[in-house]
């Protein structure tokens, strides 16, 4: 294992631009050649590890200048009913374009499989898996798949076009407020619950794969690493990966090995074991930690050391980074980051239920109290008015009953509550304009307007 001094110097060197690292190391190592060689070895390992652990193989194939990669498709090119508008960028599963669906007159996103891997059976299998996984999901917080097609031997997906920014971009401005964290986390856990119910595990939950629309709607992107748990494992994948892979056989492109982005990997993914729904919850826990504190729970500067920290170390408690965080939010994040799957949240629904307790509760409506008080006040007014002779002496009691309409009760000002006095001479009722006491035989009415800021609904 590298010494702490070498690791610390390597972390510092990584912050220096490549052309200036030699001078930095010469000064920092102060003639200690053994230390310098150790740091240089770590830097070389970091470069290889970053290429290996943080970038899916297909993403490497989409890098500019990748062998066999054609030029970007030109704007205006028509592919079936889709007209290319602009190139949006590249991702782990290929190049993405903004296009116009000329049939439905709407803008969509076309995601192409890289040309260099279009003939690779394994890449095509994963591409088709993404299509199946995405098409099986219908949820407001999962990017919608509209269609699938092909162009000159390259298959593509037709996806919902989103306007806004990724969570990764949002976090560049700093941590989110507790309310934002809870709101987005509730949307994401609800989406994961829907995916897991169909035996679909994303396996690469991270800020770059979570999009926030202009209206604050969270959208999970790129189910390119998703795996249908019910799908039989191909013979080439070997036995279920319940143990670490032999040295040198780790690859991010094949099932049964370490998939995902190293800083957000679950311990079982880092060991090359089979991922399940709880693996997504660990990755979400790492994302929530970053959303709440502005930093990652496991980040050692070098990918291999980060991976080792995920397996061996506990993260700094979130409230030590940001003391104003609610204690319950810290508890939720740390439970999601439990290394032992059995101690972690067992389902997205369970995590969602705990997060729901942090949602601000709306204040209880006051109008029922106001109406109740108004009815009591109306009854008191009626009794006092009768006893005080406000409406004159009541006529002699008669046994003759004559039906009679005493209020119009229009739709724009309906009578909400009403009562007739025991002697049948007075009607008390409340509507939008106040409380009224009316003498039934003469129509004489006394009214009490509602208190300021209230109406009697």
What DSSP state is assigned to residue 455?
A: -
- State phi, psi for 128 to the nearest 5 degrees: -65, -35
On whether the CB atoms of residues 246 and 257 are closer than 8 A, the answer is no
Rounded CA-CA distance 457/432 in Å is 7
- State phi, psi for 445 to the nearest 5 degrees: -130, 135
Rounded CA-CA distance 352/208 in Å is 21
The residues that bridge with 112 in the sheet, in sequence order, are: 95, 156
**391 by DSSP, 3-state: which?**
coil
**316 by DSSP, 3-state: which?**
coil
* Angle ∠(33,38,42) on CA atoms, nearest 5: 145
On whether the CB atoms of residues 243 and 273 are closer than 8 A, the answer is yes
Neighbours of 146 (CB within 10 A): 16
**15 by DSSP, 3-state: which?**
coil
On whether the CB atoms of residues 427 and 443 are closer than 8 A, the answer is no
The residues that bridge with 439 in the sheet, in sequence order, are: 426
Residues 6+ apart with CB under 8 A from 213: 162, 163, 164, 219
431 noted as active-site residue: no
What DSSP state is assigned to residue 142?
A: B
- For residue 4, what are its two tokens? 């702490």
Q: Please identify which residue in the block is written with the tokens 């004489």.
A: 444
Rounded CA-CA distance 71/118 in Å is 15
Rounded CA-CA distance 216/214 in Å is 6
Residues 6+ apart with CB under 8 A from 293: 175, 318, 321, 322, 325
On whether the CB atoms of residues 378 and 448 are closer than 8 A, the answer is yes
The catalytic residue among 101, 183, 190, 204 is 204
Helix 327-336, helix 178-197: angle, nearest 10: 30
Residues catalogued as catalytic = 204
């Amino acid at each position: 294992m590298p010494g702490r001094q070498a690791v610390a110097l390597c972390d510092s060197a990584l912050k220096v631009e490549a052309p200036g690292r030699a001078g930095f190391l010469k000064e920092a190592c102060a003639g200690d050649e053994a230390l310098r060689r150790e740091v240089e070895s770590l830097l070389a390992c970091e470069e290889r590890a970053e290429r290996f652990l943080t970038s899916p193989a297909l993403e490497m194939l989409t890098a500019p200048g990748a062998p066999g990669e054609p030029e970007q498709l030109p704007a205006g090119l028509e592919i079936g009913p889709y007209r290319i508008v602009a190139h949006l960028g590249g991702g782990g599963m290929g190049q993405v374009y903004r296009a116009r669906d000329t049939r439905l007159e709407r803008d969509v996103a076309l995601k192409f499989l890289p040309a260099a891997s279009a003939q690779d059976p394994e890449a095509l299998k994963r591409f088709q898996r993404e299509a199946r996984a995405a098409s099986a999901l219908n949820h407001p917080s999962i990017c919608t798949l509209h269609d699938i097609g092909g162009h000159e031997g390259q298959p593509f997906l037709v996806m919902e076009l989103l306007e806004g920014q990724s969570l990764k971009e949002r976090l560049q401005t700093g941590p989110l407020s507790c309310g934002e964290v809870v709101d987005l986390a509730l949307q994401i856990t609800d989406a994961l619950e829907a995916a897991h119910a169909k035996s679909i595990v994303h396996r690469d939950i991270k800020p770059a794969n979570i999009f926030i629309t202009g209206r604050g709607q969270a959208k999970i992107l790129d189910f390119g690493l998703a795996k249908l748990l019910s799908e039989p494992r191909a013979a080439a994948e070997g036995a279920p990966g319940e143990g670490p892979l032999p040295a040198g056989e780790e690859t991010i492109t094949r099932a049964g090995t370490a998939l995902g982005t190293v800083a957000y990997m679950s311990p079982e993914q880092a060991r090359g074991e089979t991922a399940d729904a709880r693996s997504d919850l660990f990755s979400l826990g790492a994302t929530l930690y970053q959303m709440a504190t502005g930093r990652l729970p496991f980040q050692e500067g070098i990918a291999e050391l980060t991976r080792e920290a995920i397996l061996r170390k506990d993260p700094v408690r979130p409230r030590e980074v940001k003391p104003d965080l609610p204690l319950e939010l810290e508890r939720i994040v740390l439970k999601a980051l439990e290394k032992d799957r059995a101690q972690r949240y067992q389902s997205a629904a369970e995590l969602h239920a705990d997060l729901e307790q942090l949602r601000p509760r709306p204040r209880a409506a006051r109008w029922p109290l106001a109406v109740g008080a108004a009815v009591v006040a109306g009854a008191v007014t009626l009794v006092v008015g009768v006893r005080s002779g406000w409406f004159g002496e009541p006529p002699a009691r008669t046994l003759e009953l004559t039906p009679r309409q005493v209020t119009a009760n229009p739709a724009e000002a309906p009578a909400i509550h009403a009562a007739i006095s025991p002697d049948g001479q007075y009607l008390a009722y409340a509507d939008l304009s106040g409380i009224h006491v009316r003498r039934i035989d003469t129509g004489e009415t006394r009214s009490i307007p509602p208190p300021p800021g209230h109406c009697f609904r």
